Amino acid sequence: AGEFENKDKDGNPYYVSARITPLLDKRQQIDYFIGIQEDISERMRLQKKLEETAITDSLTGTYNRGHFLVLCEQEIKRLHRYGSSVTLLLFDLDHFKNINDTYGHFAGDEVLKSFVSCVSAELRENDVFGRLGGEEFGAMVVETDSSSGLLLAERLRKSVENMVILVENQKITIT
């Protein structure tokens, strides 16, 4: 008995829960097997979505606060074990409430998504980036000493400052 991935006749994957039972003849020897399977693709899709929701901020697609902190803790343990360096960057968008008040929450959401896109483009795949709350974000930049971290922070600050976000024909800038 178990769950596994299968493929349909066109090669598309689907998931099944299956149980295979031997059927015995009069001498108690295996005569043949009977298998019962159930398509559980929808359940697996929902489970994957639930797992993703548990670690991801739904608006920005970054890690949520809880998962960001877990990953940071793991990285700090690794850092202590191997003696490497790390830089922690914290971001708080200036006067973000004014953007929501002036342009509306839809515009504020678009600003947050644009900010995440801008910062993510500068970070490496193994760096950890997450939304800590509201307009607050954090990045743990692994294998980076303080001078390299400072250069990265300044490069990110300038990239964000130079962004122009267009929402419903309104140009919005942030720092």
State residue 83's pLDDT score: 87
User: Pairing between strand 128-133 and 13-24?
Assistant: unpaired
Q: CA of 62: how far to CAs of 19, 48, 133, 137, in Å?
A: 39, 16, 11, 9
Largest CA distance in the chain: 83
The 8-class DSSP code of residue 127 comes to S
Name the CA dihedral angle for 85, 123, 112, 96, rounded to a multiple of 10 degrees: 50
C-alpha span between 128 and 75 (Å, rounded): 9
Q: Please say if the pLDDT value at position 84 is more than 90.
A: no
Name the CA dihedral angle for 47, 51, 54, 59, rounded to a multiple of 10 degrees: -90
C-alpha span between 65 and 85 (Å, rounded): 22
Q: Please say if the pLDDT value at position 164 is more than 90.
A: yes
Query: Mapping DSSP to helix (H, G, I), strand (E, B) and coil, where does residue 41 land?
Result: helix
Residue 161 annotated as catalytic: no
User: Pairing between strand 30-39 and 170-172?
Assistant: unpaired
State residue 159's pLDDT score: 97
The catalytic position among 38, 42, 52, 135 is 135
Mean pLDDT along residues 155-174: 95
State residue 141's pLDDT score: 96
pLDDT in tens, 96-155: 999 999 999 999 999 999 999 999 999 999 999 999 999 999 999 999 999 999 999 999
Query: Mapping DSSP to helix (H, G, I), strand (E, B) and coil, where does residue 7 land?
Result: strand
pLDDT in tens, 13-68: 999 999 999 999 999 999 999 999 999 999 999 999 999 889 999 999 999 999 99
